[in-house]
Amino acid sequence: MAGFDVVIIGAGVVGSAVARELSRYQVRVAVLEKELDVACGNSGRNTGMLHAGFTYKPGTLKAECAVEGNQEFDQVAGELQVPFRRTGKVVVGFNDHDRENLLKYKAVGEQNGVRGMRMIDKEELNRLDSSAGGEFAMYVPDSGILDPMQYTIALAENACQNGVEFYFNSRVVAVERLEEGYLVKTEKGEFPARWVINCAGMYAPEISEMLGYPNYPTKGFKGEYFVLDKKAGKHLGIPVYPAPNDKGGFSTHATPTIDGNVLVGPDSYVTEGREDYAATKEHLDGLIADGKKMFKHMKREYFIRNFAGIRWKRYNPQTGEILDFLLEADENRPNTVNLVGIESPGITCALPLARRVVKIVAEREQLEPNPDFNPCRKGIRKYIEMGTEEKKAAIAENPDYGEVVCRCENVSRAEILQAIHNPLGVHTVTGIKNRTRATMGRCQGGYCETRITKMIEEELGIPPEEVRYSKENGYMFTGKVREDV
Amino acid sequence: MRQTDVVIIGGGPAGLAAAVRLWEKGVRDILILEREHFLGGILRQCIHDGFGLTRFGETLSGPEYAGRFIDQVLEMGIPYLTDITVIDISADRKVTASSRDGILEIQAKAVALTMGCRERTRGAIGIPGQRPAGIYTAGVAQSYINLQNKMVGREAVILGSGDIGMIMARRMTLEGAHVQAVFEVQPYASGLPRNIEQCLNDYGIPLYLSHTVTDIKGAERLEAVVVSQVDECMQPVLGTEREYCCDTLILSVGLIPENELSLAAGVELDSRSKGAVVDENHQTSVSGIFAAGNVLQVHDLVDFVSMEAESLADSVVRYLEEGRLATCMLAVKTDANVTHAIPQKISGGEDFKLSLRVRRPVKNAFIRLSQNGNIILEKKMPKAIPAEMIQIPVKARKLNKESDLEVSVVW
């Protein structure tokens, strides 16, 4: 295999953003990902919030990147066709202590450069959203909601169309320093590279060590979520957060999703397990109790799914203090960039961080602009978002648009086919799901999953036992019931 | 825009039966809209027998049962379209459907809602744990095995004693899989006694009542489930956890009438039945929109689905003749021992059939119907279980037109 100019380890939102930003230049870039798709870790396991940046300590990378990422996102969403809405946010309070904290973080936000924050009374809060709990609130107009999986996919697809190569099912097991550059070893092959960039998310400490940096102390703060039916979504137009605690952390909140559902969560508790994504009865029960305080329509009949995500944070073992994002490039390990402890607000910060990575590379060597770079990426056009006349035209042009495969989310065969033949070559069932929303509705694939797996087999010419749900060993079928006669 | 007398949404057992009855009564301008490539609905994948005893006096497989109606539809030449999905119904009965041929818009005089039901999912009941491959609702597993010839797993545990779950326990056993057990959170089975006998007992598959799955293990494919006993409040009892190694979990935890289109039309739903609020004519809160079958209430026998739809057809015929049906003013009220009752509205001036389910098993009870404290009818029930729908014909001559009807279970 010929060498790469840059190998990026990890295809989460940060790795994908770095890939996309590097694809502006004439460099050969590979992204190595242990899973079968992008955004399989915490890039896809969060609230989908475009944070404004009022809880982060002034001067930190978190604060700087969040404000920068927030304020540029309309343009980014437009270029990459990422579903996004600047909803604003209400941070609600119930008592004097809450009010104190809200005022404190309003001042922090203003220092960070967050625009337009103001305190509102109950009357105005109810006018903004009658489903919101709370006696008063801080209104933050710049917060927004987006689909974090679609965003990561969009960044990666844009990088891919500009020449970046993605290698899935490629867990990095070692990085060897060569006379010039590095040899990145995966379970499946070796990747010689002049530059190595650590975007490994939760596994960043291990990669950090492989690159010769310290294995920084980190720990996980897990949070669980309920996904509520779009019927509940009709009641919520704006994210409702409780006043932050004294450390700037939020407990359970209610957030509308860009597609019209509601997320209730996350709560927060420490976990040791790096991929401990299991939901627990104790915490789900807690979400029900706490969720009702934020969202008056929190009801069991609206539950369609639950999930968990982990904010894997860097901390000081002596003081227990949670530390800022780490972005470093040590001269003793030339041509490496090390990103550790990138967690919330990682979605908001991904592109600003990526630009800082590119800047480091550009300081060391001359980067020639890629004359073919196209910042725009086309998403899959959604049937459900078309008006009747648009539907008629779309079907006339491509009859697959008329065939509804997912009944809950009204996803057409045309969209499923585009997702199966996605630019990154991802072929899992969850890959199709995250690209189209098929199976994400209230019946959770009860109707369409059988159709989607069949389409995967037909389109790729593979037998049933090769269909994967989301992971390499996540087979859907053990084979045929009977051999064909 | 196309004008049609009756548009039937869904070509399953309810829609087909309604269409045939309408035709028999002289209605010709009918259109059945079916999203699948074939008529027959869910019956196509129900290859076991046991259908038709009440309706046809013999026992048939699902496809055979559907075939009886499909043959009639074809013989009569009743218009139908397949591979077409209804995406909207308006309150003034404009039906919008999508197919490869484009968007079809139809102005109907009457709409029959016969969309059936869907399965309750893992997410809806909030089972904790990891989310590997290998967890299927019973109907999805049935579709894979019976329609697509794909085996879903080898070592299975079944949660929920719904009929499809028990039928899948037998089906998977017959195809060489090992089914370890069926677990039911309630202290009684939710499926029919005959299925416990024929699908579980005959194959030595144990049924554990008051048990549920409390954890799911496996990062990629399912590796094990943890099952716990539950107390009277359905809460897991600590210390009763047992781990079952398996690659497949089949969920049979309830069916929900599929009423998204009904809601689009502004049809009022009953929070107990999850189906439309209907009167004795099967008419919903929206004039000219009728509902029957599993979209109205989940049935245990397909025979009753067809018969309910035939009764719907009779009302639609009158609706077409008379232009409208009078609003029914009297409410059907139920006590806490009744899960739900259909219809929810009556006039007091017509015969009708009352369908209901009891909330828990009872012995030597009476179903009592009364108006204004006066007992109209009492049906003796030596044994009543939630799994079996109870149907009671009520004669108009016994009713007054002034008072709501009260339905209670007494013993």
- Give per-residue burial for B16-54: e unless 16+ CB within 10 Å, then b: bbbbbbbbeeebeebbbbbbbeebbbbbbbbbbebbbee
Q: What is the mean pLDDT of residues B67-89?
A: 98
Give the whole-angstrom CA distance, residue B126 versus residue A274.
23
Q: Cα-flanking dihedrals φ and ψ of residue A255, to 5°? A: -130, 130
Q: Which residue has the higher pLDDT, A244 or B367?
A: B367
Assigned CATH topology for domain B121-253 = FAD/NAD(P)-binding domain (3.50.50)
Are A78 and A105 contained in the same domain? no
Q: What is the structure's pLDDT at B234?
A: 93
Which of chain A's residues have a Cβ under 8 Å away from the Cβ of B220? 470-474
Are A427 and A394 contained in the same domain? yes
Q: Do A402 and B121 touch (CB under 8 A)?
A: no
Cβ atoms within 10 Å of A373's Cβ, excluding its own: 15
Are A305 and A329 contained in the same domain? no
Domain that holds residue A439: 383-466
Are A3 and A72 contained in the same domain? yes
Give the whole-angstrom CA distance, residue A418 versus residue B227.
41
A478 found inside a domain: no
Are A211 and A222 contained in the same domain? no
Q: What is the mean pLDDT of residues B225-236?
A: 96
Q: Give the closest-approach CA distance of A13 to chain B in angstroms.
A: 22
A94 and chain B: CB distance < 8 Å anywhere?
no
Contact partners, residue A169, CB within 8 Å, separation at least 6: A33, A34, A35, A36, A188, A472
Are A375 and A442 contained in the same domain? no
Q: What is the structure's pLDDT at A2?
A: 66
Q: Give the closest-approach CA distance of A231 to chain B in angstroms.
A: 10
B85 and chain A: CB distance < 8 Å anywhere?
yes
Look at residues B1, B210, B26 and name the one whose alpha carbon lies nearest to residue B92. Answer: B1
Residue of A410, A444, A478 with shortest CB distance to B121? A444
pLDDT digits (tens, 9 = 90+) for B147-162: 999 999 999 999 999 9
A479 found inside a domain: no
B264 and chain A: CB distance < 8 Å anywhere?
no
**8 A C-beta contact, residue B248 and residue B213:** no
Are A456 and A395 contained in the same domain? yes
* CATH value of B328-411 in 1.20.1050, 1.10.8, 1.25.40, 2.60.40: 2.60.40
A484 found inside a domain: no
Q: Which residue has the higher pLDDT, A195 or A2?
A: A195
pLDDT at B189 over 90: yes
**8 A C-beta contact, residue A196 and residue A175:** yes
Are A374 and A387 contained in the same domain? no
A51 classed as catalytic? yes
A476 and chain B: CB distance < 8 Å anywhere?
yes
**What is the interface size between A and B, counted as CB pairs within 8 Å?**
147
Q: What is the structure's pLDDT at A294?
A: 84
- How is residue A325 written in tokens? 């994002």
Q: What is the structure's pLDDT at B169?
A: 98
pLDDT at A1 over 70: no
Residues 111-130 of A with CB under 8 A from B: none
Q: Give the closest-approach CA distance of B216 to chain A in angstroms.
A: 8
A188 found inside a domain: yes
Are A432 and A351 contained in the same domain? no
Look at residues A137, A135, A136, A132 and name the one whose alpha carbon lies nearest to residue A296. Answer: A132
Domain C-terminal end among A263, A291, A314: A314
Q: What is the structure's pLDDT at A296?
A: 87
pLDDT at B291 over 70: yes
pLDDT digits (tens, 9 = 90+) for B132-148: 999 999 999 999 999 99
A471 found inside a domain: no
Are A106 and A236 contained in the same domain? yes
Name the percent of chain B lying above pLDDT 70: 100
pLDDT at A485 over 70: no
B96 and chain A: CB distance < 8 Å anywhere?
yes
Name the percent of chain A lying above pLDDT 90: 93
Q: What is the mean pLDDT of residues A203-223?
A: 97
Reduce the DSSP state of residue A319 to 3 states and report it: coil
Superfamily (CATH H level) for B1-119+256-327? FAD/NAD(P)-binding domain (3.50.50.60)
Q: What is the mean pLDDT of residues B181-188?
A: 97
Q: Mean pLDDT in chain A?
A: 96
Q: What is the mean pLDDT of residues A407-412?
A: 96
- How is residue B59 written in tokens? 């026992």
Are A24 and A105 contained in the same domain? no
Q: Give the closest-approach CA distance of A469 to chain B in angstroms.
A: 6
Q: Mean pLDDT in chain B?
A: 97
Residue of A279, A395, A477 with shortest CB distance to B152? A477
User: Tell me, what CATH number does A6's domain have?
Assistant: 3.50.50.60
Are A152 and A101 contained in the same domain? no
Number of domains in chain A: 3
pLDDT at A249 over 80: no
A483 found inside a domain: no
Name the percent of chain A lying above pLDDT 70: 99
Q: Do A278 and B216 touch (CB under 8 A)?
A: yes
Domain ranges of chain B: 1-119+256-327, 121-253, 328-411
